[in-house]
Structure 1
Amino acid sequence: MGDLTHVLWIGGPAAAGKTTVSRLLARRHGLRWYSVDAHMMEYRDRAAAAGVALPGEGPGDFDRGPMIFEDLRSLPGPLVVVEGALVTPGLAASTGNAVWLMPSQEEQRTRLEKHHPEGVHHGYLWGWQLVRDQLDAAANAATIVVDNQSVSQTVAAVESHFARQLAAGPTAQDVQERWQLLRYANEVAVSNSFKAFARASVPPDASTVVRTYDCECGDPACDALGELPVSDAAAALTSPPPSLLARGNHTRSRPRE
C-alpha cells in the first residue's frame, strides 16, 4: 500500500460536511485537497482501460481503493486531506490519521432537505446506516458529532483532532505553493465536469453549466468560492494562477502571509 502517513482522511455520510470542511482545512493550512468524489469519472475510465467490468456495464464491481492509493502516493507534498463517500474505516486504516463527521439521522435529513427541496434520494439515507455500521465494527474510529454545529465549529473540531499532524506538516510554505494547490483542485473540478459531459446521452453546453471553484488568491484567511460556467473556468485555467478569483473580492495582488 505504500507510505500514506502524509494523508489526513475525512469520512462520513452525505450532508455531514466532508467537502466543505476539507476544502476549508486545506485552504487555511496550505494542504492539498483530494476529493474522491471528484475523481469518480477518472476511476471509471482507468478501470475500463484495464478491462475491469464496471457497474451497469457488466457483471461485478471494481475496487477504487488501489487507484486512490496510487494517486496519493504519486502526489507531491504537502499533507493531503482526502474526503469523499468512499473514505471508509477500511480504506483509511493504513495510517490511523482519520476522522468521521457524523450527523444524527434527523440532522442528516434536515440538511438534505435544505439542499434537495425536490426530494431526498433514498441512497443518501441508506448510506448513513452503512457508515454507522462500519464505524461500529471498527476499533477506535474517531468521530465528531456535527449536530447543531456551525461549519466553523466543525472545522475547529477537525483541526483539534489533526493538531499534531498539522503542526508537523509539511504544509505550503509560500504563496506560490498555495497557488499551485488551489490550481490543482480547480483543474480536477473542470476535468471532472468535462468527463461527465462526455458520458451524457446529450452532452450539455459547457458555457451554460455553472460550477463552484476555489478562489486562487492564496490568502490563508480567504474562504471565498467563485461560480463560473465550466467553459469560462477552463479558459481561466490556461493562464497561470491566480486567474480564478472570487468575483468582487480580490485582485491579482499578492495576499498577506
Structure 2
Amino acid sequence: MNVLWIGGPPGAGKSTVARRLARRHGLRLYASDARTWAHRDRAVMAGHPGALRAESLTPAQRAALPVEEQLAMWLHEERGPMTVDDVRGLPSSPLIVAEGTQVVPAMLPHGSRAVWLTPPAEVLRERLTARHGPGRVPELYLLLGELIAAEVSRAGVPAITAADAMDEVERFFAADLARGPLAAGAEERRRLLREANEAVAEQYRAAFARPWNTADSSAVARPFACECDGHECDEVLSLAIEDLPPTPLLAAGHR
C-alpha cells in the first residue's frame, strides 16, 4: 500500500501532523476518527459484545463504567484491521497519510512505513486537559496512552517523543515524499481537502443519527479545513455540518 502511517495515543498530535503533512505535500488524508461510527456499525453487524453494549448506553453511562469496561467497548484492537481495510480501498495515488489511535505495530502489513508519536505523559495530560477541561480528562485516554507506549516500546518501532513532532515526522518520511506520487496541482489538492471535509461531515452525521444522541446537529459547530490551495494554510472554520457549502470552503481572504 502507498501509505504513510502515523500512530500514537489521544493527544499525541497525530491529527494535526497528518493534516499539515497532507496539506503541505498534496497527500490524501485518512483520519480514523472520521470512520469511528462506520467501524462501530461493522462491529455491531458482526455481533461484537463490546460494540453492542456501547450502543445500548448513553455517553454518560459509558463514562461512568470502570475504565477496563470502557476499553472493551472502545474496539481498540478490532478497529486496527478495519482501518487497514479502509485504506486498502482508497486510490493509490496520490500518496496517503493515515493516522489513528488504533494504528499499532501489530495491525500493519509487513514493510509498512510508520512512525508513532509518543510525547511524555505530562505533555499528553496537559493537552487532554486543554481539550476536555480541568478534572475532565477521560481515564480511558490515559490508559490508552500507557498501552500504546508500552506496545511501541516492545515492538522497537520508530517513535518520536518531541512535543512538536511535525519537523521530525517530515524528515522521517522525506524519502517517501520525494518518491510520491503527490497531488498533481491546485485542483487535485482542493478535491483532497473537500474529501477530508466530507469525511468529517459524515462522521458527525453518523454520530447525530445514534438513538442516544439528542443533540440538534444544526446547533453544533464542527471544525472544517479551509479548502484554499495554500500549502501552509492551517485555517479551520467552525460551522454546522448542514452549512458545509457545495462550493469550496474558504477562510476570509483565501482563494
TM-score scaled by length of structure 2: 0.85
Give the match for residue 106 of structure 1. Answer: 122
Find out whether 1:249 has 2:253 as its counterpart. Answer: yes
**SS of 2:117's equivalent?**
strand
Find the aligned partners of 1:97 and 1:201 in 2 and give their Cα distance.
39
Find the aligned partners of 2:198 and 2:111 in 1 and give their Cα distance.
27
Find the aligned partners of 1:85 and 1:128 in 2 and give their Cα distance.
9
Give the match for residue 138 of structure 1. Answer: 155
Shift of 1:249: 3.3
Give the match for residue 115 of structure 1. Answer: 131
Give the match for residue 234 of structure 2. Answer: 223
Q: Which of 55, 58, 70 is 2:50 aligned to? A: 55
Shift of 1:72: 1.3
Change over 3 Å in CA distance of 1:91–1:66 after alignment to 2 = closer
Q: Which of 182, 201, 207 is 1:190 aligned to? A: 201
Give the match for residue 91 of structure 1. Answer: 107
Find the aligned partners of 1:44 and 1:165 in 2 and give their Cα distance.
32
Q: What is the number of residues matched between the two proteins?
A: 233
**SS of 2:6's equivalent?**
strand
Find out whether 1:11 has 2:32 as its counterpart. Answer: no
Give the match for residue 203 of structure 1. Answer: 214
**SS of 2:21's equivalent?**
helix
What amino acid is aligned across from residue 52 of structure 1 in structure 2? G
State whether residues 10 and 141 of structure 2, in contact with CA within 8 Å, keep that contact through their aligned partners in structure 1.
Answer: yes
State whether residues 225 and 237 of structure 2, in contact with CA within 8 Å, keep that contact through their aligned partners in structure 1.
Answer: yes
Shift of 1:132: 1.4
Structure showing the higher helix proportion among its residues: 2
Shift of 1:202: 4.2
State the Cα deviation string for residues 27-54 of structure 1 (Å, max 9, x = none). 11000110112101011223334x3325
Give the match for residue 71 of structure 1. Answer: 86
Change over 3 Å in CA distance of 1:184–1:197 after alignment to 2 = same
Find the aligned partners of 1:192 and 1:203 in 2 and give their Cα distance.
16
Find the aligned partners of 1:167 and 1:146 in 2 and give their Cα distance.
24
Find the aligned partners of 1:168 and 1:54 in 2 and give their Cα distance.
43
State whether residues 80 and 103 of structure 2, in contact with CA within 8 Å, keep that contact through their aligned partners in structure 1.
Answer: no
Higher relative contact order (CA 8 A, sep 6+): 2
Shift of 1:66: 3.5
RMSD of aligned Cα (Å): 2.0
Q: Which runs of 5+ in 1 are unaligned?
A: 252-257
Q: Which runs of 5+ in 2 are unaligned?
A: 55-71
**SS of 1:55's equivalent?**
helix
Counting only pairs closer than 5 Å after superposition, residues 30-49 of structure 1 correspond to structure 2 as: 30-49=26-45
Give the match for residue 64 of structure 2. Answer: none
